[in-house]
């Protein structure tokens, strides 16, 4: 019991570590197309939920200026955060091909019965390349994300969606399954952080970006708190 308590203490300490990221980092490494408002929103979410974009816990995706910024997490974030609560007592996830659903069953130490959730795969499989090549894995990821959000509402209810959910629904629940099927960046190599979209050969601090950062600094000063 003592070892388990120590493990939870260490996990909690890691969760409370401040993520050191600035508006300049957002523009330079993760999303050069982000607007001033989107940068402010991204920094707020990253800080409040303690998500680390440098370790790929969270991804900032914007394909062009016509589309808004999408903030998504990997499904592993749900598993890690649920484990840190100390309340997770096991889970199972699989595909029922006859019903064309992905299902998940989650056991909590403080609940008598397991939580069960099903995902209708027809709502998410729109013929994207990844759904054609690895449909089982894709379906399980959606079931894990939705299931853990519902089973741990206090801890995970406000967590950003995974990419597979964002591809189909926007924040208002409207279908937006028109975005291109692009790969989310893999591990950071040689200190070079790949971007969500194809970047220019050299990202320069143009007057536009300088204006964004200047406006952001003014907004931060007006709020009167350090959001870094």
CA distance linking residue 208 with residue 213, whole number of Å: 9
**∠ Cα 194 175 31 (to 5°):** 20
Tens digits of per-residue pLDDT, 102-153?
Answer: 999 999 999 999 999 999 999 999 888 889 999 999 999 999 999 999 999 9
Specify whether the CB–CB gap between 38 and 62 falls below 8 A: yes
The string over 181-205, giving b where at least 16 C-beta atoms fall within 10 Å of a residue's C-beta and e elsewhere, is eeeebeeeeeeebbbbeeeeeeeee
- pLDDT value of position 212: 47
- pLDDT value of position 153: 95
Q: What is the DSSP string of 122-184?
A: GGT-SS-HHHHH-HHHHHHHHHHHHHHHHHSHHHHTTPPPBHHHHTTB-TTS-B-TTS---PP
Per the confidence metrics, is the pTM higher than 0.75? no
- pLDDT value of position 64: 85
Rounded to the nearest 10 degrees, what angle do helices 36-49 and 207-223 cross at? 50
Encode the chain (228 residues) as per-residue pLDDT tens digits. Answer: 544 554 444 444 455 456 688 889 998 889 999 999 999 999 999 988 999 998 889 999 988 888 899 999 999 999 999 999 999 999 999 999 999 999 999 999 999 999 999 999 999 998 888 899 999 999 999 999 999 999 999 999 889 999 999 876 543 444 443 343 334 434 333 333 233 333 333 333 344 444 545 555 554 454 444 443
- pLDDT value of position 126: 86
Specify whether the CB–CB gap between 98 and 106 falls below 8 A: no
- pLDDT value of position 19: 66
Residue 173 has phi, psi (to 5 degrees) of: 80, 10
Q: What is the CA radius of gyration of the chain?
A: 19
Q: Which residues contact 114 (CB under 8 A, 6 or more apart)?
A: 105, 106, 107, 108
Extended strands (E) in the chain: 58-61, 70-73, 88-96, 101-108, 115-120
Give residue limits of the domains in the chain.
1-63+187-228, 73-181
């Amino acid at each position: 019991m003592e070892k388990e308590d120590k493990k939870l203490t260490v996990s909690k300490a890691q969760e409370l570590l401040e993520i050191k990221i600035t508006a300049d980092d957002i523009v330079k490494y993760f999303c050069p197309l982000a607007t001033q408002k989107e940068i402010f929103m991204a920094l707020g979410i990253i800080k409040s939920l303690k998500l680390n974009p440098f370790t790929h816990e969270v991804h900032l995706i914007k394909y062009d200026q016509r589309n808004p910024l999408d903030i998504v997490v990997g499904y592993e974030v749900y598993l890690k955060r649920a484990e840190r609560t100390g309340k997770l007592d096991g889970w199972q996830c699989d595909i029922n091909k006859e019903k064309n659903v992905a299902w998940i069953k989650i056991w909590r130490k403080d609940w008598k019965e397991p939580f069960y959730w099903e995902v209708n795969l027809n709502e998410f499989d729109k013929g994207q390349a990844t759904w054609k090549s690895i449909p089982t894995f894709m379906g399980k990821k959606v079931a894990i994300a939705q299931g853990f959000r519902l089973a741990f509402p206090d801890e995970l209810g406000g967590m950003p969606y995974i990419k597979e959910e964002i591809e189909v629904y926007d924040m208002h629940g409207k279908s937006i399954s028109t975005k291109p099927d692009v790969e989310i960046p893999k591990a950071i190599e040689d200190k070079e952080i790949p971007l969500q979209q194809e970047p220019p050969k050299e990202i320069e601090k143009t007057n536009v970006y300088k204006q964004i950062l200047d406006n952001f600094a003014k907004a931060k000063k007006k709020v009167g708190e350090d959001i870094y």
